[in-house]
């Protein structure tokens, strides 16, 4: 729950934001660190793994300690990268990966029966990796230990982003906005809008998306299948953009602006533009830390396509420990490759935008492609395949 609970607002957000604004600049990072630590402990203990989940606060403290040894071109940075990836694999992928070897969980000696995900692990992993790599490449300053802990434990963005960058966060932390009235008016409006999106749109659509299971798919009137899937497309957008609205609005109460995550992605007329406007902080992270290190667009055609596919394979795996997420990521990778190939065959016309009918067709194609791909996001491979068989064959 978190962002849609009273605990979040009354125990954490409002007191912490006020304290942070009243604190002196030297004490401000400590206020953010302490409130983030309490936030993590409270919600982990009550909702994510109990005592063991709360003890995962140790991951942040350990990372903060190790990060003090990150220097440009130092091997410690790679140690940090390795341990961060190992934490993620241990908690998120252990049962999935060992399950590929031992299909029967009862016979799997490495099966973790009480597996749980530490609160926000998929997101704080990205921030840990970013800092380690950027320190190695000397793209960011070290900052004090309190500033680094404030960065990784800034609770409005800790659980599900937007994914921040240290070099972007640090100046804002050091010079917090003093425009109390504007920040609180804008921040509160953003939070309320996010809550309406979540309760009034995303949750309402659950009545349709709950039918995306094998039993209901078998009984459904075929056109309804499309309605359910497209409802899921709207639901996931409303849900995640609502989450981002609340996170960004919450950060604004502290006087800190964090990156935007969505910019009307469903209005985009091609898949490349869609990804530039959907979960933008993740897309930018994947471009900077996966796609560009692989060579980006500077290599020969085939290699660029491979780079795109690998980047979206990582995106798919990151989204969940399941084959369906890999298929979903690869579908997007393939759509991006096809779009790139198409642009090589048919470059954009010079001297102005394409005609309206062409843009409308591109938009419909993009919207349909993205929404059909959601099938592999919200259902396992077997059910999603059955969904498409029912939809197209009968």
Partner 1 sequence: MDSAIAVLEWLKHAFEYVGGAQDEPPAGFPVRLRHWWFWALWWAALGLAIYVFSGQSSKFIYIDF
Q: Does 159 bind partner 1 (CB under 8 A)?
A: yes
Task: List Cα–Cα distances, 55 to 45, 91, 145, 151, 275, in angstroms.
Answer: 9, 14, 20, 19, 36
Q: Which is nearer to partner 1, 338 or 364 (CB)?
A: 364
Q: Which is nearer to partner 1, 135 or 235 (CB)?
A: 235
Q: Does 380 bind partner 1 (CB under 8 A)?
A: no
How far is residue 192's CA from residue 286's CA, in Å, rounded to a whole number? 30
Single out the residue of 293, 376, 298, 308 nearest to residue 341, CA to CA. 308
Catalytic residues: 319
Q: Does 249 bind partner 1 (CB under 8 A)?
A: yes
For 105, other C-beta atoms within 10 Å of its C-beta total 12
Contact segment (CB under 8 A) with partner 1 among 33-41, 162-170, 302-310, 315-323 equals 315-323
Cβ-count burial of 41 within 10 angstroms (0-12 exposed, 13-18 middle, 19+ buried)?
middle
How far is residue 31's CA from residue 285's CA, in Å, rounded to a whole number? 28
Q: Which is nearer to partner 1, 60 or 70 (CB)?
A: 60
Task: List Cα–Cα distances, 334 to 84, 343, 359, 366, in angstroms.
Answer: 29, 14, 21, 13
Q: Does 280 bind partner 1 (CB under 8 A)?
A: no
* Full 3-state SS string of 260-321: CCCCCHHHCCCHHHHHHHCCHHHHHHHHHHHHCCCCCCCCCHHHHHHHHHHHHHHHHHHHCC
Q: Does 322 bind partner 1 (CB under 8 A)?
A: no
Q: How many residues bind partner 1 (CB under 8 A)?
A: 42
Site string for partner 1, 84-123 (x = CB under 8 A): ---------------------------------x----xx
Q: Does 189 bind partner 1 (CB under 8 A)?
A: yes
CA angle 301, 302, 303 (to 5 degrees): 95
Q: Which is nearer to partner 1, 23 or 204 (CB)?
A: 204
User: CB 279 → partner 1: shortest distance, Å?
Assistant: 9
Q: Which is nearer to partner 1, 162 or 369 (CB)?
A: 162
Q: Does 358 bind partner 1 (CB under 8 A)?
A: no
Q: Does 370 bind partner 1 (CB under 8 A)?
A: no
Assigned token pair, 201 = 């749109």
How far is residue 382's CA from residue 335's CA, in Å, rounded to a whole number? 22
Q: Which is nearer to partner 1, 60 or 237 (CB)?
A: 237
Contact segment (CB under 8 A) with partner 1 among 29-37, 154-162, 268-276, 364-372 equals 154-162
How far is residue 186's CA from residue 270's CA, in Å, rounded to a whole number? 32
User: CB 247 → partner 1: shortest distance, Å?
Assistant: 10
Q: Does 264 bind partner 1 (CB under 8 A)?
A: yes
Q: Does 10 bind partner 1 (CB under 8 A)?
A: no
Q: Is the peptide bond before 139 cis (omega within 30 degrees of 0)?
A: no
Q: Does 196 bind partner 1 (CB under 8 A)?
A: yes
Binding site for partner 1 (CB under 8 A): 1-4, 117, 122-123, 159-161, 182, 185-193, 195-196, 198-200, 203-204, 206, 236, 239-240, 242-243, 245, 248-249, 260, 264, 318-320, 356
């Amino acid at each position: 729950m978190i962002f849609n609970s009273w605990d979040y607002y009354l125990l954490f957000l409002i007191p912490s934001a006020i304290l942070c604004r009243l604190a002196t600049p030297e004490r401000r990072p400590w206020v953010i660190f302490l409130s983030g630590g309490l936030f993590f402990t409270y919600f982990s203990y009550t909702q994510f793994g109990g005592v063991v989940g709360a003890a995962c606060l140790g991951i942040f403290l350990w990372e903060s300690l190790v990060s003090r040894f990150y220097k440009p071109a130092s091997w410690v940075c790679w140690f940090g990268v390795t341990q961060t990836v190992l934490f993620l694999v241990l908690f998120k992928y252990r049962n999935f990966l060992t399950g590929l070897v031992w299909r029967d969980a009862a016979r799997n000696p490495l099966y973790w029966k009480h597996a749980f995900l530490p609160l926000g692990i998929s997101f704080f992993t990205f921030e840990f990796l970013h800092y380690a790599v950027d320190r190695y490449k000397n793209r960011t300053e070290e900052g004090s230990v309190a500033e680094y802990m404030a960065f990784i434990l800034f609770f409005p963005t800790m659980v599900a982003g937007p994914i921040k960058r240290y070099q972007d966060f640090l100046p804002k932390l050091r010079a917090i906005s003093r425009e109390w009235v504007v920040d609180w008016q804008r921040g509160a409006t953003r939070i309320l809008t996010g809550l309406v999106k979540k309760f009034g749109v995303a949750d309402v659509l659950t009545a349709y998306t709950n039918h995306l299971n094998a039993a209901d798919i078998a009984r459904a009137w075929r056109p309804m299948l499309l309605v359910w899937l497209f409802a899921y497309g709207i639901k996931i957008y409303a849900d995640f953009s609502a989450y981002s609205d609340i996170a960004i609005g919450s950060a604004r109460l502290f006087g800190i602006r964090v990156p935007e995550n969505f910019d009307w992605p469903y209005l985009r007329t091609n898949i490349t533009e869609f990804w530039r406007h959907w979960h933008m902080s993740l897309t930018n992270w994947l471009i900077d830390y996966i796609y560009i290190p692989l060579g980006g667009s500077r290599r020969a055609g085939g290699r660029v396509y491979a780079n795109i596919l690998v980047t979206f394979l990582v995106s798919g795996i990151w989204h969940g420990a399941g084959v369906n997420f890999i298929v979903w990521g690869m579908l997007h990778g393939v759509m991006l490759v096809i779009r790139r190939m198409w642009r090589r065959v048919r470059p954009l016309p010079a001297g102005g935008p394409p005609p309206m009918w062409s843009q409308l067709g591109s938009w419909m194609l993009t919207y349909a492609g993205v929404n059909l791909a959601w099938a592999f996001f919200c259902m396992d491979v077997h059910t999603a395949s059955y969904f498409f068989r029912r939809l197209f064959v009968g």
